[in-house]
Structures are given as structure tokens and as C-alpha cells.
């Protein structure tokens, strides 16, 4: 069985052959499978982020603009029924044409209340849905802290969380 065939089977874990195979695994093997599956899932979502950022950077206007090396995302708070949640904002906070991390600290301290639903509407209208979905999944898999920045390094396709 080649990796693609195995991936197709694992993508449908409720199908009889996969379900039966999972039932035969010992608890230690099941734990190993979960750890590996989560790591592979996180890596795949990171590559979705890289692909969408590359598409965004390629679509930026201006000939003669230096090649984009990295893009950065900052955190944002979202209201939910069970309280506030911190996640990655669905919009690129900065593009950089060098290896230097730009200063992404807030430039003012005034908080502005956003009406419920307005942030979601802006995301729906302006954000790349695939990028937003990938950032939301990464938030669940590896929750950010206040002040963290997500760096997408395009030449190496690396997505790194930078903590301040």
C-alpha cells in the first residue's frame, strides 16, 4: 500500500477496514497514533497557511517591489457564548521583505468595542476563507498567548509562533 492509499483510508476512520484496524491496536499504539495524527494535521494546516499567504503576497500591487520573505499575523479576541477566546487574526498584519521581524506592538492603547457580529462580517467579506479556516484550526491545535505573533516564512515554508 502506498502512502496516498493509506492517507485515503485514514481520512475516513469510520469506514469498516480502518475502524476494525483501530480496534485491534493496543492503548499505547492508539496514543502514538493520536500524537502522530495531531502533529501531521498541524503541519498540514500550516502548509495551507503558507500557500494562502504566498497567493496573497503574489497578488499585491506594485512592480519592482522586493520579494516578500515573511508575513505576520497577530492575535485577536473573539466573543463566543462561553466567553472571550484568543486566536489568530484572519488578516495579514505585516509583510516583510527582509528577515527582520517588524515591530507589531499596538501603537495606541485605546480599546474600541466592536459590535457583536461585525468582526465576523468583516472576516466573511474580506478574509481569505481557506486562510481563516487554517488559522482557526491552528488556534485550536496550538493556542496563542497575548502578544504572540505568527510568522510565515515563505522561502522555507515555515510557520512559527513567536512569543514576546
The pLDDT of residue 9 is: 82
Spell out the residues 6+ positions from residue 109 whose beta carbon is closer than 8 angstroms to its own: none
Q: What is the dihedral of CA 72, 75, 78, 84, to 10 degrees?
A: 160
Strand, coil or helix: what is 85? strand
Q: Which of 49, 102, 106 lies closest to 77 in space, CA to CA?
A: 106
Strand, coil or helix: what is 10? helix
Spell out the residues 6+ positions from residue 80 whose beta carbon is closer than 8 angstroms to its own: none
Residue 90 DSSP class: S
- Within 30-140, strands assigned E span 70-80, 83-88, 94-96
Q: Phi and psi dihedrals of 163, rounded to 5?
A: -100, 140
Q: What does the pLDDT profile of the chain (164 residues) look like in tens digits?
A: 888 888 888 888 888 888 888 899 999 999 999 999 899 999 999 999 999 999 998 888 766 556 889 999 999 887 777 777 889 998 998 898 888 888 776 655 455 555 666 666 666 767 889 999 999 999 999 999 988 999 999 999 999 999 87
For the four alpha carbons of 5, 10, 11 and 15, in that order, the dihedral sign comes to positive
Q: Could you tell me how far CA 131 lies from the centroid of its own chain?
A: 7
| Exposure string over 7-24, b if 16+ CB within 10 A, otherwise e | eeeeeeeeeeebeeeeee
pLDDT (tens digit, 9 = 90+) per residue, 20-58?
888 999 999 999 999 998 999 999 999 999 999 999 988
Contact present, 93 and 72 (Cβ < 8 Å)? yes
Amino acid at each position: 500500500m502506498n502512502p496516498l492509499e493509506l492517507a485515503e483510508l485514514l481520512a475516513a476512520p469510520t469506514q469498516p477496514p480502518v475502524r476494525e484496524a483501530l480496534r485491534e491496536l493496543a492503548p499505547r499504539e492508539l496514543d502514538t497514533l493520536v500524537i502522530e495524527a495531531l502533529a501531521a494535521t498541524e503541519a498540514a494546516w500550516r502548509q495551507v497557511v503558507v500557500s494562502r499567504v504566498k497567493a496573497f503576497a503574489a497578488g499585491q500591487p506594485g512592480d519592482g517591489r522586493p520579494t516578500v520573505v515573511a508575513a505576520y499575523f497577530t492575535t485577536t479576541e473573539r466573543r463566543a457564548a462561553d466567553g472571550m477566546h484568543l486566536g489568530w487574526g484572519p488578516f495579514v498584519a505585516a509583510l516583510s521583505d527582509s528577515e527582520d521581524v517588524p515591530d507589531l506592538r499596538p501603537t495606541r492603547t485605546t480599546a474600541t468595542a466592536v459590535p457583536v457580529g461585525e468582526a465576523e462580517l468583516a472576516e466573511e467579506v474580506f478574509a481569505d476563507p481557506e486562510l481563516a479556516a487554517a488559522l482557526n484550526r491552528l488556534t485550536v491545535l496550538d493556542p496563542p498567548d497575548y502578544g504572540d505573533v505568527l510568522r510565515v516564512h515563505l522561502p522555507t515554508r515555515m510557520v512559527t509562533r513567536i512569543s514576546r
